[in-house]
Amino acid sequence: MPSAIELAQGDPRLIAAIQRSRRLLGRKALIGAAASAMPIPGLDWAADAALLSRLVPQISAEFGLSLTQLDRLGPQRREGVQKAAAAVGALLVGKLVTRELLITLAKHAGIRLTAKQATKYVPLAGQAISAVLGYAALRTLGEQHIKDCVRVAKAAQHLLPAPPATGAAPLRKLETPAPAGRSRLRGVVQQLLRR
């Protein structure tokens, strides 16, 4: 199966969008791996769902294919993109990420996610294996979405949005006080998930 870069066929704007999306995906997958390493069953599923519900629209936006970006297109252009998405079988391009879509995604990565839950019960090594499986599952789902976005952009001859300014973005500081009634760790995890 060709990689996203190969699917871009040398288009510099697509390649730049792929690279930005992969950096974003890498950060989110690391956060997912950290949540998977926690020995609390179910926490990683919630973290994965939260990460995917934010990650998918962010990746789509890199290609100009988020729901809000498509809503700004003319009716004929939007219909062309939607037909291209249907033709390539892109599940999440230009759609609101709902619980049903997340369940569909989970089915695609079902074996990895099930194995990740099973490893939680093995002390120490289980958490490490769970973290690796969590990272791999998110990377796989994210890479598939990147490929779908590339295929749709190519099929619809969609013009990508201008890349962000080349200047280095300032680092955001984490807020130190945790929200009332929550532990400091939970507040930090929520801030990381928002990125």
Model pLDDT for residues 17-74, shown as the tens digit of each residue: 999 999 999 999 888 888 877 777 667 667 777 888 888 889 989 988 888 888 888 8
Model pLDDT for residues 128-144, shown as the tens digit of each residue: 777 787 788 888 888 98
3-class DSSP string for 136-153:
HHHHHHHHHHHHHHHHHH
Q: Tokens 């040398």 label which residue?
A: 10
Q: Is the pTM of this model over 0.85?
A: no
Residue type, 22: R
Label residue 101 by pLDDT band (50, 70, 90): low
Label residue 163 by pLDDT band (50, 70, 90): low
Q: Of 17, 48, 34, 7, which is closest to residue 140 (Cα–Cα)? A: 48
| CA–CA distances in Å: residue 179 to residues 31, 32, 35, 58 | 20, 22, 20, 26
Burial of 155 (0-12, 13-18, 19+ CB in 10 A): middle
State the Cα–Cα distance between residues 157 and 84, nearest whole angstrom.
9
